[in-house]
Chains A and B, each alone.
Chain A
Amino acid sequence: MNLISKTSPSVGASQARPDALNKVMGHEKFAADYYGPRHLWAGVRRAGIPHGRLISVSTEAAKQVPGVKKILTHKDVNGSNRQGVIQKDQPVLVDDRIRHCGDALALVIAETSQALETALALISFEYEALPGIFTTAEAFQYGAPLIHPTHPGGNCLLSGQLVSGKGLEAFEACDAIVELTIDLPRQEHAYLETECGEAVYEKGELSIVVSTQTPFRDRAETAQAIGISPEKLRIIAPYCGGGFGGKDGITVQSLLGLAAMACPDVPIKMMWSREESFLAGPKRHAASLHYRLGAKQNGVFHALEVRADFDTGPYDHLGGAVLGLALEHAGGPYRIPHAAIQGKAVYTNNTIGGAFRGFGVPQVAAAMEQAVDLMAEKLSLSPLDIRMKNAVQKGDKIPSGTTLKTSTGIRECLARLKAHPLYREADAWKKKAPAHMLRGSGMACALHGMGYGPFVPDTAIAKLELTKQGRFKIYFGVVDMGQGNGVTFLQMAGDLLNQNYENLELVLPDTGLTLPCGSASASRSTYTFGNALIQAVETMKTRLTQRAADSLMVGDGDEFCFIPGHLRHLPTGREFPLAQLAALLGPEERITISRYRALASKETVTQDTALQMHGIPHTVFSYTAHLAHVEIDTLTGGITVCNYTAVTDCGRLINPDLYQQQMQGGIAQGLGYALYEDFITDKGRLLTANLSTYIIPGALDIPPMALSSVDLQENTGPFGMKGVGEICIDPVLPAVANAVADACGGGRCRQWPLTCERMLEILTIPVCPPGADMNRSLI
């Protein structure tokens, strides 16, 4: 198959990912596809009640089901029985308190999936029901039950504020003030591959193949939770069938480990059903946002007030870090000298709030970018002009206080957007609206910081091997869940080493083979590992050319250049096969290892160590400006996004196709967030429990998308790149909101998503009814 192998990898080119070949043929083996010989099935009895004190679990009836091998409860867990990325507050199997309907009570291992299902249905439990908390407001009511009675903050997982300039006082000096309140829903990741894996425990060693974004962290977290030494636990991460943040943290790992240790020497398989994935997996946080933005008469922003409440569900997961990123990004890519930004992540008995592409930024951007449009309208400025007037440049501070010291391209994005036909021709297009239709055009911007922030070291360790056959193996530990970082590593190494794809090989994340690289998250996969890889390649090049020079007894390594499969001695033209060179080197000499630690900010924007620990401030940011054209059917309330364009500053593109893939996928998810994806619960129980009731966009729902990049150089990035995996989704909802408001004379939605019913309601009520708690202008 020569589609890929004979081409030479080159940075900057749209090259196909090699894994695409196996994927189109159905040969790629995902974690879901592991069926070991004589494997057993493991599954979990979930609570189904939102809050209660567990008294006992009865497994006797289930044990009688033919084919059932073992049933485990918390009494069978030898480790801490607690997991969590930051705080270990989530039980693997509940031992004292049920905190949401998805909590796991008992683990069944059976010979067939039918026996498993029968047994799970026969498990019962006794409990004392506790009153539940289902909104952030309820969490702070007098007498509210404490979800984690020992948590020092009560029902508040984390709260924090960032104040800059004169804070709220500065509103007194504003000529115009606008105000906005919105409520945003949970969003479900809905990756196609649900949480799954296969584990085997043999000779005291546990091996888990799992669909994950975080193999190395999984190893540490699972080991302590289930009581095994991390050295005896191996996590293998094949290509992952979608992650988007939902596999950033433990899903099946600890359960599979427990099952395998209870039934040694046999592979144990677990695959969550779609309903189970919806119930037990993390979600984008539901959030309530209250914004007040003040400006001078000339449109220069002066003051910002933000209050953001995030429903983090029953466990920390990554809720504190999501809040931290939201607070830092709350003011968007604008200069606002005075700001008071405060927020809370609040425990409730709803589903778990956790990481999801954007990580808190889509929520704050949703409010900020609508406030910007309200201000533009109030001051009779165009949405684009008011953004350009206030957009940050390198050296400026964003409202949270973070100074932008690296490439800062929002102004370039806006300038490019202004020249785009969809922008220039928007008015003409709107005027052609058919009967019963309203048309509008709206824009929104965002910035998105990369990496873990100042406190948690953001590192990756690259390993490169010259094989005996003279090929290069790249060992990478940061998962490819579809973003395509794997091919970018081939492009980088192949370009620097001048080797064809057939001379390069990827070794996928595996704690037994690759080295720690951190999580596939935070827009960092390609950036952090790419930087580590470049160093490993340079060390390899120096070593090989030097050895070749010594071997041929010629001057020095500089006289050689790499060509596919060979080193060429330039003065003589003689070619030295890499396989021959490899034979001269011992196994250790054929390997180079390089660790990269991403630049951490030394700036102090807050004295609050909890916020620092949760990632404030960042150093490298990507930027984007989006424009949506919408058409509203006034008879049905149906909204069609007709066209979409986005201009992004994510540094130099390593692979333009991959850039487009990320943007298109992120925009599609953002349109789902804005228009369709209503994750409805009633007292912690799911009313949209599967893909027939929770609607994600299909091929008929997504408009043509025109995407471009301003292609600025980011000097800290490998080959000048910055991350694009998250910024693509950040401003989609407000771009739609602003387009809808443009279409219908300023009507705005308070409770999202903007379904047809809500759209009809907006069309049938006055925009700002007197006395109503609506989004409005204050002065």
Chain B
Amino acid sequence: MKLSFTLNHNALTLETEPDRRVIDLLREDLGLTGTKEACGEGECGACTIRVNKELRLACLMIAAQIEGCSIETIEGLAGPDQALHPVQEAFVQAGAVQCGFCTPGMVMAVTDLLEAIPDPDETQIRKALSGNLCRCTGYQKIMDAAQLAAKKENKCLP
């Protein structure tokens, strides 16, 4: 099928099978390998992207579902000149990155949380992360990163 959608703020039209998984489309066809596959069945959250500003799992979507949609992946989060998004910066500074395989999905989840709730409490953060598995960190520094990012976005920090 001819598929048209917006990917990280750029309009795109391409030819693909309608049942092509979105994760394969992104990773294999478009070279955007920041979106990770770690279970392929919606359990781990490593393939978290945003579709029309809502969190979605790229392993559970097929190409036909994103026709006309606006897709955001981890690669689209940084600003011009690759300036880090505050959430990305907070992950680096808080030591929230270990092996890094869950990181893109986690960053997407935290970014989405902070857009909805700019100053989340601990429980809200834990709930927001509950769809994303991490096997390295024990989540504590990811929580720290979310709190640090909230402070950055609320301009409490330089």
Task: Report which A residues bind B (CB closer than 8 A).
Answer: 1, 3-4, 14, 16-17, 19-30, 32-33, 35, 113, 189-194, 239-244, 271, 273-274, 481-484, 657-658, 660-661, 664-669, 690-692, 696-700, 702, 704-705
In the assembly, what is the distance between CA of A686 and CA of B107, in Å?
Answer: 33
In the assembly, what is the distance between CA of A289 and CA of B73, in Å?
Answer: 48
On whether A26 and B31 interact (CB within 8 A), knowing A20-B92, A481-B99, A692-B41, the answer reads no
How would residues 57 to 77 of chain B score, 1 for a CB under 8 Å from any chain A CB and 0 otherwise?
A: 000000000000000011101
Would you call A26 and B75 a contact (CB within 8 A)?
A: yes
Contacting residues, chain A, for B44 (C-beta < 8 A)? 192, 691
Contacting residues, chain A, for B82 (C-beta < 8 A)? 1, 25
In the assembly, what is the distance between CA of A20 and CA of B82, in Å?
Answer: 14
On whether A274 and B40 interact (CB within 8 A), knowing A26-B34, A190-B135, A661-B141, the answer reads yes
B104: nearest residue on chain A (CB-CB)? A26
With A25-B82, A30-B33, A699-B126 already in contact, 15 other A-B pairs whose C-beta atoms are closer than 8 Å? A20-B100, A22-B100, A191-B99, A193-B99, A239-B100, A242-B99, A242-B101, A271-B37, A481-B99, A666-B138, A691-B39, A698-B129, A699-B127, A699-B132, A705-B140
Would you call B100 and A667 a contact (CB within 8 A)?
A: no
Would you call A1 and B84 a contact (CB within 8 A)?
A: yes
Contacting residues, chain B, for A658 (C-beta < 8 A)? 95
Would you call A3 and B84 a contact (CB within 8 A)?
A: yes
Would you call B101 and A33 a contact (CB within 8 A)?
A: no
- The contact of A20 among B27, B36, B97, B135, by CB within 8 Å, is B97
Would you call B100 and A482 a contact (CB within 8 A)?
A: yes
A29 to chain B, nearest CB (A): 7
B41 to chain A, nearest CB (A): 7
In the assembly, what is the distance between CA of A482 and CA of B97, in Å?
Answer: 8
How would residues 114 to 143 of chain B score, 1 for a CB under 8 Å from any chain A CB and 0 otherwise?
A: 000000000001110110111111111111
In the assembly, what is the distance between CA of A19 and CA of B40, in Å?
Answer: 26
A/B interface sample: 8 pairs, CB < 8 A: A23-B104, A24-B92, A32-B37, A192-B134, A482-B100, A661-B95, A691-B43, A698-B130
Residue B16, interface by CB 8 Å: no
Would you call A241 and B99 a contact (CB within 8 A)?
A: yes
- The contact of A23 among B37, B75, B97, B140, by CB within 8 Å, is B97
Contacting residues, chain A, for B99 (C-beta < 8 A)? 191-193, 239-243, 481-482
A429 to chain B, nearest CB (A): 19
Would you call B34 and A700 a contact (CB within 8 A)?
A: no
- The contact of A29 among B32, B33, B43, B102, by CB within 8 Å, is B33
Chain B residue total in the interface (Cβ 8 A): 57
Contacting residues, chain A, for B74 (C-beta < 8 A)? 24-26
In the assembly, what is the distance between CA of A3 and CA of B84, in Å?
Answer: 10
B39 to chain A, nearest CB (A): 4
Residue B98, interface by CB 8 Å: yes
Would you call B103 and A35 a contact (CB within 8 A)?
A: no
Would you call A24 and B41 a contact (CB within 8 A)?
A: no
In the assembly, what is the distance between CA of A666 and CA of B43, in Å?
Answer: 21
Would you call A700 and B126 a contact (CB within 8 A)?
A: yes
Contacting residues, chain B, for A243 (C-beta < 8 A)? 99
In the assembly, what is the distance between CA of A20 and CA of B39, in Å?
Answer: 23
In the assembly, what is the distance between CA of A244 and CA of B138, in Å?
Answer: 14
Contacting residues, chain A, for B43 (C-beta < 8 A)? 274, 690-692
Would you call A705 and B138 a contact (CB within 8 A)?
A: yes
Residue B112, interface by CB 8 Å: no
Would you call B36 and A192 a contact (CB within 8 A)?
A: yes
Contacting residues, chain A, for B41 (C-beta < 8 A)? 274, 690-692
In the assembly, what is the distance between CA of A484 and CA of B95, in Å?
Answer: 10
- The contact of A192 among B83, B84, B101, by CB within 8 Å, is B101
Would you call B75 and A25 a contact (CB within 8 A)?
A: yes
Contacting residues, chain A, for B101 (C-beta < 8 A)? 30, 32, 191-193, 241-242
- The contact of B137 among A113, A481, A664, by CB within 8 Å, is A664
- A-B pairs with lowest CB-CB distance, top 7: A26-B34, A482-B99, A23-B100, A668-B138, A241-B101, A26-B74, A664-B138
Contacting residues, chain A, for B38 (C-beta < 8 A)? 192-194, 241, 274
Contacting residues, chain A, for B35 (C-beta < 8 A)? 26
Contacting residues, chain A, for B143 (C-beta < 8 A)? 699
- The contact of B92 among A21, A667, A668, A700, by CB within 8 Å, is A21
In the assembly, what is the distance between CA of A29 and CA of B31, in Å?
Answer: 11
Would you call B136 and A657 a contact (CB within 8 A)?
A: no
Would you call A193 and B92 a contact (CB within 8 A)?
A: no
Contacting residues, chain B, for A189 (C-beta < 8 A)? 135
A451 to chain B, nearest CB (A): 22
In the assembly, what is the distance between CA of A83 and CA of B24, in Å?
Answer: 32
A219 to chain B, nearest CB (A): 23
Contacting residues, chain B, for A16 (C-beta < 8 A)? 92-93, 95
B58 to chain A, nearest CB (A): 12
Would you call A35 and B27 a contact (CB within 8 A)?
A: yes
A62 to chain B, nearest CB (A): 22
In the assembly, what is the distance between CA of A509 and CA of B141, in Å?
Answer: 27
Contacting residues, chain B, for A113 (C-beta < 8 A)? 24
Would you call A698 and B133 a contact (CB within 8 A)?
A: yes
A114: nearest residue on chain B (CB-CB)? B17
In the assembly, what is the distance between CA of A189 and CA of B133, in Å?
Answer: 13
Contacting residues, chain B, for A33 (C-beta < 8 A)? 27, 33
Indicate the member of A19, A240, A668, A699 with the most B CB atoms within 10 Å: A699
A329 to chain B, nearest CB (A): 23
Would you call A704 and B100 a contact (CB within 8 A)?
A: no
Residue B147, interface by CB 8 Å: no
Would you call B140 and A696 a contact (CB within 8 A)?
A: no
Would you call A242 and B135 a contact (CB within 8 A)?
A: yes
Residue B148, interface by CB 8 Å: no
Contacting residues, chain A, for B34 (C-beta < 8 A)? 25-27
B52 to chain A, nearest CB (A): 20
In the assembly, what is the distance between CA of A16 and CA of B83, in Å?
Answer: 17
A653 to chain B, nearest CB (A): 13
Indicate the member of A14, A32, A242 with the most B CB atoms within 10 Å: A242
In the assembly, what is the distance between CA of A35 and CA of B29, in Å?
Answer: 10
B101 to chain A, nearest CB (A): 3
Residue B12, interface by CB 8 Å: no
Contacting residues, chain A, for B153 (C-beta < 8 A)? none
Would you call B98 and A665 a contact (CB within 8 A)?
A: yes
Would you call B140 and A484 a contact (CB within 8 A)?
A: no
A192 to chain B, nearest CB (A): 4
B88: nearest residue on chain A (CB-CB)? A24
Residue B11, interface by CB 8 Å: no
B38: nearest residue on chain A (CB-CB)? A192
Would you call B39 and A24 a contact (CB within 8 A)?
A: no
Would you call B135 and A483 a contact (CB within 8 A)?
A: no
Would you call A660 and B141 a contact (CB within 8 A)?
A: yes
- The contact of A242 among B78, B95, B136, by CB within 8 Å, is B136
